[in-house]
Amino acid sequence: MMECMCACPKIATIAEDMSKVCADTAGTIGCIASTPSCATIAKDMNEKEVSLMCEYTSKGCEENTEKMMTCAGDDMKLWDEKDCGGDLTGKEECCPIAKTLLECIGKDCNTISMALVQMKADAGSEEAKKEVEESEKARKACPDAGIPSAATVSATASEGQVTEGPDAATASFAAPGQTVSMLAMAAVISASLMA
């Protein structure tokens, strides 16, 4: 690790601020990928995942999440009151609330977040696999909520950038989507801010 840091001193910024990494991918991620003393780190690094994280940062997705309470307003409270977290099957009254929360995050931000979860699922994470399953159930329960299609999520994960899947023409993108886990996170943010 120390040899790698000496060869690629800019990687110290990775823990500080993702935007610094994204502003100089050649000096950070590129250096790790091309430097023999960083081989151990490089083998665990997914450059497409880093690319998506940079896109998430550049599109202001973190700020959108932080502004969720202001954007969603009373819908955050309703989400908790109606116990809308997790599987939305049989909770159709939660669909309009989900749509509002998803719109607050933004279409591309939702797609990126879901693609990052898909990457983890593809790498074998059981927790991520459950999130992917919950997203599929939510798509079926709330088809008009704006949850990105599985094909779009898969294409984005595969390409390392937001990409419309092969079914983009038939998918409903009237509103941006997000994973159910992100909605659950929004509910946690809501609860902590109201406490």
Residue 96, pLDDT score: 92
The reply to whether 61 falls in a domain is no
Taking the C-alpha atoms of residue 6 and residue 74, their distance in angstroms, rounded to an integer, is: 51
The pLDDT-based confidence of 166 (bands split at 50, 70, 90) is low
Residue 39 domain boundaries:
2-45
Residues 112 and 168 occupy one common structural domain: yes
Q: Is 182 part of any domain?
A: yes
Q: What is the largest CA-CA distance in the chain?
A: 56
Q: With respect to residue 60, please indicate whether it lies within any of the assigned structural domains.
A: no
Residue 127's pLDDT is what?
94
Of the pLDDT bands very low, low, confident and very high (cuts 50, 70, 90), residue 15 is low
pLDDT value, residue 177 = 35
Do residues 147 and 112 both lie within one domain? yes
Q: Give the lowest-confidence range in 66-70, 83-87, 106-110, 137-141.
A: 83-87
Give the pLDDT band (50/70/90) at residue 109. very high
Residues 85 and 178 in one domain: yes
What is the per-residue pLDDT for 16?
66
pLDDT at position 186 over 60: no
| Per-residue confidence (pLDDT) for residue 82, from 0 to 100 | 87
Look at residue 155 in the predicted model and tell me its pLDDT.
Answer: 93
Could you tell me if 109 and 185 lie in one domain?
yes
Exposure string for 8-42, b = 16+ CB within 10 A, e = fewer: bebbebbeeebebbbeebebbbebbbebebbeebb
Rounded to an integer, the average pLDDT of 137-144 is 90
Looking at the structure, tell me whether residues 130 and 170 fall in a common domain: yes
Q: Say yes or no: 172 and 83 in one domain.
A: yes
Task: Give me the number of domains the chain comprises.
Answer: 2
In a domain, 172, yes or no: yes
Cα 124 from Cα 120, distance rounded (Å): 6
| Same domain flag for 75 and 41 | no
Any domain includes 39 = yes
Q: Is residue 52 part of a domain?
A: no
Position 143 in a domain: yes
Residue 115 lies inside a defined structural domain of this protein: yes
**Residue 21 and residue 114 share a domain:** no
DSSP letters for 76-118:
HHHHHHTT-SS--TT-GGGHHHHHHHHHHH-HHHHHHHHHHHH
Does one domain contain both 27 and 123? Answer: no
